[in-house]
Amino acid sequence: MSMYLYLMVYGIIICLDLLSKFWALEFLGNSFIEVIHFLHLGPVLINRGISFGMLEFIPNINMILFVCNTVLVIVLLYFACRKNMQGRIYMHVLCAGALSNLIDRIQHQGVVDFIHVYIGKYSFPVFNVADSCITISVILMLSRDTVIYFKK
């Protein structure tokens, strides 16, 4: 697959994510829009920690996470080049999501989250488009590798 296609994947994911975060910051703020009964857009949260806001209380955590995220993206890109075609696509989608969140950490000293899903009384942690790309690519990689493992 051409390098241009991978660059297009990065461009589309990063643009969608950053544009959605810009929209959320500009138009949502502390309000929310109920899209359907279990999906709300907003209110906007700036996650200065890691997943679910953990470790937010640690001084200079944003700089530590910036360095860790950068190293993680470099390592993932290395492994993406070594995988087969399908695995490469999943890895590049994951890296694009990580890079978009890295851009957020630089711009906002945290990650902008605004998508909120509810199932009954259970409320999932608030997330964004980049988090969705990361999660979906990890699920696809794990399911694909599990199928390959059990076929052997």
Residue 131 known to be catalytic = yes
36-43: list long-range contacts, CB under 8 Å, 24+ apart: 37/118, 38/117, 38/118, 38/119, 39/115, 39/116, 39/117, 39/118, 40/115, 40/116, 40/117, 40/118, 41/114, 41/115, 41/116, 42/114, 42/116, 43/114
Catalytic residue among 17, 104, 113, 145: 113
Catalytic residue among 17, 104, 131, 145: 131
> Which of the residues are catalytic?
113, 131
